[in-house]
Amino acid sequence: MIGSWSRQDFLALIGKLAKVKGPSLGEGPRREVLEDFFHDSGVPCETDRAGNLLVKLGKGPVEETVVFDAHMDVVQEGFTDTVVYEHGRMKGLGLADNLTAVTLLALFAAVIQKDHVHALKRPLTILFSTGEEGHGNLNGVKQFIDDFGGSPYLFLCFDLGFDTYSISGLGSSRYELTVRCPGGHSWDDYGTPGAIDVMMHFLASVSRVFEEQSAKHPGSLSFNIGSVHGGEGINSIAGNAKATFEFRAVSPEPLAILESEIENIRVNMDKMNDVALCCTITGRRPAALPVNPERIEPLVRDVLRSIGEKTTERVRSTNINATLASGWPSICMGLCTCGRFHTSEEFVVMDSIEKGWGVLSELSKRLLCVTR
């Protein structure tokens, strides 16, 4: 064991992290809280060009390095005004996704630096990454890959709960559609193309090509229209309209085909008179297959079994999309029992946090040969 954890220290740090702003690509204030914690704890840390915060402990070759990662950013406004403690749970936006993991890794870094840094049999890098949520496009972990200079022994991403883990990456392509038309009076200018009508026709065409691909790859694709905006009033022909949509897929091939089909739709509709149409990709996450799962998957299952937790493999979109696509042995797993992600009802079961500390302790023993 690496030593006991302090619930008081955990609650103090996560309380600060939760209430400070940290949306995707705006994580600076939250990073500063962590930097202050590490300064007070005597833990060396550094920031890279993407705003990641890195703690590097121990010495050794790049290929023997173990990387522990937790993303700092939180969805929507990026923080919660109030952390609620009731019925054995703490509740608030971002607590499960992903501030419990961030807090546990910060406390873990402090313990390793204080008591175990000279006993590390492999170098350890703890990455507090940026840009995992929303339109962050995995900006932080991509920068880390560029800077790392090789492939580590293992990249272990901590995100969400004990119940699932991921050894593959769910790919996605995100789009923004904008349409501009002359607009006009709903009666006097009837027949003039309207931006909302054009947008709806475009999205209907996108839906048809998606259904064709979905039939060829059943159960492995999704399509979502995330937002629609437009129009000036009930008696005006819409002059402007905008929509966002995304596809997700477990393999890269259908995403590439859909991208080509959407470009064909755009080209054909852009020929319409008095219509200016633009459809751009705003984000990509690579779909990625497992790397060395035979040595990683049994480890994670065994560690979770040791704390009395059952888990199942599930493909998700996380930081390991980028590391797997770069050929890094990677896995994503959780450090708590939690639920209702991306809502104000997001919660973490308090008694599960000690189990999360137990996971870090067991992993440090098996991967870093740290024993008390």
> What's the average pLDDT block by block, 10 residues per block, for the chain (372 residues)?
88 98 97 98 98 97 97 97 96 98 98 93 97 94 97 98 97 97 96 96 98 95 97 97 97 95 94 94 94 96 96 96 97 98 96 97 92 58
pLDDT number for residue 1: 61
pLDDT of residue 371: 63
Residue 58 CB contacts under 8 Å (≥ 6 apart), including other chains: 117, 120, 122, 123, 124, 368
- Sequence length of the chain is 372
Q: Which pLDDT value is given to residue 3?
A: 81
Contacts with 27 (C-beta within 8 Å, 6 or more apart), sequence order: 51, 72, 73, 78, 130
DSSP state of 121: S
Return the number of other C-beta atoms located less than 10 Å from residue 189's C-beta: 13
Return d(Cα 281, Cα 319) in angstroms, integer: 19
* Nearest C-alpha neighbor of 143 from the set 49, 15, 227: 49
Amino acid at 133: E
Q: What is this structure's pTM?
A: 0.92
Would residue 99 be called left, alpha or beta, if left means φ above 0 and alpha means ψ between -120 and 50 degrees?
alpha
Q: How far apart are CA 194 and CA 294, in angstroms?
A: 56
Q: Calculate the alpha carbon distances from 327 to 204, 291, 292 in Å.
A: 37, 6, 9
Q: What is the DSSP string of 296-362?
A: HHHHHHHHHHHTT---EE--B-STHHHHHHTT--EEEE-SS-EE-TTSTT-EEETHHHHHHHHHHHH
